[in-house]
Amino acid sequence: MTEHSDHPERPGHPEHHGYSEEDVQREVTDLEGKSATAARLFDIRRIIGGLFVIYGVIVTITGLTDSDAAIDKAEGVNINLWTGLGMLLLGLFFLVWLKLRPTAPPPPDAAPGDEPGE
């Protein structure tokens, strides 16, 4: 006999602890929603894109305010401006990619580490 019997008076059954099947299902749904939100929040594309945009803005402003001496030091190339614009473009690429192809939450019945072929 298993601990999780269909009989409500048996230990291990949700109704034995004062929870109905609907309460348990609602709790599972809430946890799945929170898990999907956390997965989207900590998506690596958001982190990389955000950092590149922030640093890109800083370096671009530095490039716009560089003196002639700093540009001459880089052999006439405003390296801060071009690097900052490149960083901005890369950061925006990651953020647009995140917006166009959001992370799909894992199926609820799949356990972490499960492989389809196993």
Confidence (pLDDT) at 33: 62
pLDDT confidence of residue 9: 54
Residue-range domain boundaries for the chain: 8-42, 43-103
**pLDDT of res. 26:** 74
Angle between helices 79-100 and 44-64 (to 10 degrees): 150
Q: With a cut of 50, which residues of the chain have pLDDT below it?
A: 1
The SS3 of residue 66 is: coil
What pTM did the predictor assign?
A: 0.57
* Rounded Cα gap, residues 85 and 65, in angstroms: 14
pLDDT digits (tens, 9 = 90+) for 67-78: 999 999 999 999
Per-residue model confidence (pLDDT) at position 43: 81
DSSP 110: P
* Tokens, residue 47: 């982190």
DSSP letter assigned to residue 10? S
* Distant-in-sequence, close-in-space partners of 89: CB < 8 Å, separation ≥ 6: 56
